[in-house]
Amino acid sequence: MANIDTKPFILNAWERQHLPAAVLRVLKGHVGRRNAITGRDLATALRHPDDRKIRLAIRELIKGGHPIASSVSEPMGFYICATQHEAVTYIATLRTRAEEDLARLRDFEEAAATQFSIPKQKTLF
């Protein structure tokens, strides 16, 4: 059996207190989509081995009111929105992604139900 790392991606107490502020300091140099920085480059800049934890810190920053967006097309990475247009565009991207995920969930549930007799769950949406 392969040794698979099953450790959850959580922030420890020190990371929860310090990592978001450190990430924000770096991101302040990456305002606007054209200045995006990848999660890996952010982790390297912070000498942090785990870019997944960088993404969790970014999520905390967003919850804290910072308009941090990301792009999966060039230029790829994270950035602080510089304009209303960038924010609205990112919101539209997230909505489309969510709709696609919900459609995939619905289709998968139907496929799994026919294959494995899984009862259909009530949906919230």
Residue 1 has pLDDT above 50, yes or no: no
Instruction: Kindly indicate the confidence band of residue 4, based on its pLDDT and cuts at 50, 70 and 90.
Output: very low
pTM for the full model?
Answer: 0.80
| Range in 22-31, 53-62, 110-119 the model is least confident about | 110-119
Q: Spelled out in words, what is the top-level CATH class assigned to the domain 18-116?
A: mainly alpha
Cβ atoms of 14 and 48 closer than 8 Å: no
pLDDT of 55: 93
